[in-house]
Amino acid sequence: MRDTNPAIAHLALTSLLACALLGGLACEPLEALYGDTCSLGEGTAVLEGEWVISGEGTREGCLDEDLNGSFKLGPSIALRVEQSGANNDKITLLTPVSGFALDGQINGSCVDISTEEDWKGGIILRHYSGVVTPGGNIEGTFSGSGPASCQVDGTFVIEVN
Amino acid sequence: MNRQALMLWIAASTLLIGLAPEQAEAQDQKWLVTPIATRGVESYVGETFKEILQAEISARNSAAFMAATGKPCGDVPCARDRGRAVGAEVALFGALSALGSAKIVATVTVVDVPTGSVLSTQRMNVDRVEDLDKVATRMATAILGGTNTEETAELGNITEEEIPPAKRREGDRGLGLRVGGIAPIGGGYGGDAGTGILLDVSYWFETNDFAIEPRWGLRFSTTSDEEASYFEMPIDVGAYYILSRSDFAPFVGGGAGIRFISETRPPDVETGAVVTETSTEPMDDSAWGFGTFARAGFLLFRTYALRVSVSVDYNITFVTLNDEPNPQSLNFGIGVMF
């Protein structure tokens, strides 16, 4: 989904030509053919700043029945994030937060982030995979485990300020 | 045996015979059963009773019965004279007397003709003619056994009059219906579900000063909020003390029973402190449990067949739902007792 390869480019061009020849029959926008795909290797997005994570998801497999079901994600506290590395593609917390760790990778407009939070003697692990939007935020899906035996998945938005 | 020893033997025998309870000894004796007098009772009933009595005595001994003629005897001398006239050694006379419209008194006296002494007197009451056969049997047994009819009771010869129904005071009773509202107290009943509706169906039993009320009820929330609601079904028995016998009568009391109660309350589960995750699923829970209530109110139109009650009660159910213990409520309602 992330790679824009020659075969796909050829298909896109062909579709565009077909739309033009057919004189305006309804065509899907180009982006809709592939969904929210991110672009690799086209420069690294600048995402330094304050991040606020929000979204929604579902928990299942929890021993505590009250935890199973849908939930609202965040909004988190504001997390100060910096980019580093040779290609400015590594993401870390600029300001440490007690009991919380965040790190990630940026590749073009693709973002992968992992968080680990200590919670009541256990660990909440989350992996966020998303794309940088034209507005400079990050949107995508997340999954993970915890607390305890819970397994989660959902969608998220990270506001970058 | 010399003369002195013989005299001693006769004296001892006489003494022993004298100490023995008097019994109407029937072996080889001649009996006369005179006609039974009837007062307020059909004459044929007296004749039948005489025949049954004579047959029952005859079945228990080997006495010879002399033919009885003439009018019934009403006293010992009459019976004695009749007995002497026919050569009988034992004479029996008696009467069946109606007492009111529901009782017959049967009396029988047995006379030793030679001496004119009374050997036995028996009396029994019955409340229906059909029991006179049992009376005759019981009297025959008592006469020959030297006892009374109370000691001859056994299975099969108990009369209806001996098993009277227990007398009980009447109370007023009927169906009760109550409609009202429920106001939860504290954190129970779904937390924020608010007031609800109350419906009760009961059986109301009322005396001058007390009332008993087994009931089956429903309580449920009326909110449209899907995240907060409750339902309760009590099955209780209540008892009340009524403080007045007039048309306006305050009452107090209480009761207990079992309940089924269920609730839905908004989610309040949150995990994480940096990136919080807050549950959005309403929490459901239900249970059966024991509960109790205290009620106060007043009765209207108490002297009429249909009464109205207005009352308030405090109610508590001993269960824990969604970690919230012992839901409590104030209930109020208007009831009608038919």
Do residues A141 and A71 both lie within one domain?
Answer: yes
Which residue in this structure is represented by tokens 């005299």? B7
Average confidence (pLDDT) over B50-64:
90
In a domain, A43, yes or no: no
Best of A50, A63, A72 to disrupt the B interface (most B CBs within 10 Å) is A72
* Category of A134 on φ-ψ map: left (φ > 0), alpha (ψ -120 to 50) or beta: alpha
Per-residue DSSP letter, B167: P
State the average pLDDT for chain B. 87
Cα–Cα distance between A126 and A123 in angstroms, integer?
Answer: 10
Region A133-147: mean pLDDT is 93
pLDDT band for position B29 (cuts 50, 70, 90) = confident
Q: Among A10-19, B130-139, B165-174, which range has the highest average pLDDT?
A: B130-139
Q: Does one domain contain both A29 and A83?
A: no
The answer to whether residue A44 is domain-embedded is no
Q: Are residues A74 and A133 in the same domain?
A: yes
Say yes or no: A61 and A9 in one domain. no
In a domain, A40, yes or no: no
* Domain-embedded: residue A1: yes
% of chain B with per-residue pLDDT over 90: 62
pLDDT at B171: 72
Domain shared by A9 and A77, yes or no: no
Q: Which position has the higher pLDDT, B114 or A36?
A: B114
Determine the Cα–Cα distance for residues A38 and A2; give it in Å rounded to an integer.
5
Contact assessment for residue B275 and residue A53, using Cβ atoms and an 8 Å cutoff = yes
DSSP state of B166: P
* Residues A24, A87 within the same domain: no
Residue A67 lies in a domain: yes
**What average pLDDT score do residues A67-79 get?**
92
Q: What is the mean pLDDT of residues A70-96?
A: 91
Which of B274, B276, B281 is nearest residue A69 as measured by Cβ atoms?
B281
Contact of B261 with B290, CB cutoff 8 Å: no
Has residue A108 been placed in a domain? yes
Task: Give the domains, in start order, of chain B with CATH numbers.
Answer: 23-158 (3.40.50.10070), 172-337 (2.40.160.20)
More confident residue, B193 or A16: B193
Q: For B277, which residue in chain A has the nearest alpha carbon?
A: A73
Q: Are B149 and B155 in contact (CB under 8 A)?
A: no
What's the confidence (pLDDT) of residue B164?
Answer: 63
> What is the pLDDT confidence band of residue B268, given thresholds at 50, 70 and 90?
confident
pLDDT of residue B172: 81
Containing domain of residue A54, as a range? 49-160
Of A24-33, B170-179, B189-198, B236-245, which range is least confident?
A24-33
What DSSP state is assigned to residue B78? H
| A11 shares its domain with A78 | no
> Are both A67 and A104 inside the same structural domain?
yes
A141 and A72 share one domain: yes
The band of A33, judged by pLDDT with boundaries at 50, 70 and 90, is very low
What is the count of structural domains for chain A?
A: 2
Q: Is the domain of A59 the same as that of A112? A: yes
> First vs last Cα of chain B: how many Å apart?
93
A99 assigned to some structural domain: yes
- Partners of residue B275 in chain A, C-beta under 8 Å: 53, 73-74, 76, 100, 115, 117, 124, 126
Q: Which residue has the higher pLDDT, B320 or B223?
A: B320
| A153 found inside a domain | yes
More confident: B159 or B285: B285
Contacts of A69 in chain B (CB under 8 A): 279-281
Interface probe for A, chosen from B265, B269, B274, B283 (most Cβ of A below 10 Å), is B274
| Residue B290 scores a pLDDT above 80 | yes
Residues A29 and A87 occupy one common structural domain: no
Q: What percent of chain B has a predicted confidence (pLDDT) above 70?
A: 87
Within 8 A of A155 by CB-CB distance, chain B residues are none
| A78 and A141 part of one domain | yes
pLDDT for the residue numbered B274:
94
